[in-house]
Amino acid sequence: MSGQDDVVWTNARTEEDDAPVKGPGLWRAMRRGLARRCPRCGEAPAFNGYLSVRDHCSHCGENLGSYRADDAPPYFTIFLVGHIVIPLMLWVEKAWAPDIWVHAALWVPLSLVLTLATLPYIKGAVLGLMLQLRIH
């Protein structure tokens, strides 16, 4: 047997972690995040720049820096952009059958612009979701 069998796992959660969440409802928090505002109060900006989340809300003091969205916003962004671009691409191919270079000239820039335009808003919505569900 290895030494790992002797490890005792403990639950680091406290009763405070299971307390009911006070503040906005789930959809309101996500809408506030989608607007790139603090999901808790909706007053102050949640971001310092393009994608960097503020450490604390300047209005309500919520600790926004402890919520790490990581891979969820890019995943949802790719999902959204794919569902916009792919049907358009298929429709153009079926209607006009352009050369492959026309497809590349159309869809690569459109995909890039849509991705960069929607990513911060989707990250804000994910931040609101995480805040309401208390996912740190």
Residue 19 token pair: 């307390």
Q: What are phi and psi of 84, to 5 degrees?
A: -90, -50
CA atoms within 13 A on the CB side of 29: 19
Find out whether 8 and 29 touch, Cβ atoms under 8 Å.
no
The CA distance from 25 to 46, in Å, is 17
Each residue's pLDDT, cut to its tens digit, for the chain (136 residues) gives 455 555 554 545 555 555 555 678 999 999 999 999 999 999 999 999 999 999 999 999 999 999 999 999 999 999 999 999 999 999 999 999 999 999 999 999 999 999 999 999 999 999 999 999 988 8
The CA distance from 86 to 107, in Å, is 9
Helix (H, G, I), strand (E, B), or coil: what is residue 53?
strand
